[in-house]
Amino acid sequence: MTPQHHLVQTDESIGLTRERLNDRTVIAISGELDSTTTPFLRERLYAALRDSGAHVIIDLSDVTSCDASGLAVLVGAYHRAEAAGTTLTLARARPQPADLLRVTRLQRVFRVRSSTADVRDAGRGLRSAAA
């Protein structure tokens, strides 16, 4: 199956793309996750989660910073995915968002992966967490 790429947003301060590969969807977020961008992000991210398959990977490699409102959107996405029976994994977080996940202990809630290979992995290894 050919991957499907969708640009989901056009806001200048936050970006979101969605790529669907069979039962796996990669959602890449870019920019700053803060109180000014999260209303827009929440709407686009929740829409991207619909019909996303059994596994969703949120690629955070282009997220430059994240505050409590950004975490709230990610937690909301986690709950929506969980309710739909979808596995949600966060991947490739830069140091600031990764530190925030660690300090808030949310890395214990989310599946967190660190490498590019983990983001595109089609195997069953996504169920285990790596921090």
pLDDT band at 53 (very low <50, low <70, confident <90, very high): confident
Q: What is the mean pLDDT of residues 76-85?
A: 95
Q: Domain count of the chain?
A: 1
pLDDT digit string, tens, across residues 102-117: 999 998 999 889 864 5
Ramachandran assignment for 116, one of left (phi > 0), alpha (psi -120 to 50 degrees), beta (any other):
alpha
**What are the phi and psi torsion angles at 60 (to 5°)?**
-105, 15
CB 78 within 8 A of CB 110: yes
Q: Is residue 33 part of a domain?
A: yes
Q: Is residue 54 part of a domain?
A: yes
Q: Is residue 117 part of a domain?
A: yes
20 is written with which tokens? 């669907």
- Check residue 89 and give its pLDDT: 94
The residue ranking higher by pLDDT, 81 or 4, is 81
Residue 79 has pLDDT above 90, yes or no: yes
Q: Is residue 89 part of a domain?
A: yes
Residue 25 has pLDDT above 60, yes or no: yes
Share of the chain above pLDDT 90, in %: 66
- Check residue 11 and give its pLDDT: 56
Q: Is residue 1 part of a domain?
A: no
- For the stretch 93-99, contacts whose Cβ atoms lie closer than 8 Å and that sit 24 or more positions apart, written own/partner, are 93/60, 93/61, 93/63, 94/60, 94/61, 94/63, 94/64, 96/64, 96/65, 96/66, 97/33, 97/60, 97/63, 97/65, 97/66, 97/70
Q: What is the CATH number of the domain that holds 116?
A: 3.30.750.24
Helices (H), 12-113: 38-49, 68-83, 95-103
Q: Is residue 59 part of a domain?
A: yes
Q: Is residue 69 part of a domain?
A: yes
Q: Is residue 2 part of a domain?
A: no
Please give the radius of gyration of the chain, using alpha carbons only, rounded to the nearest integer.
13
Q: Which domain holds residue 41?
A: 7-121
- Is-above-0.75 flag for pTM? yes
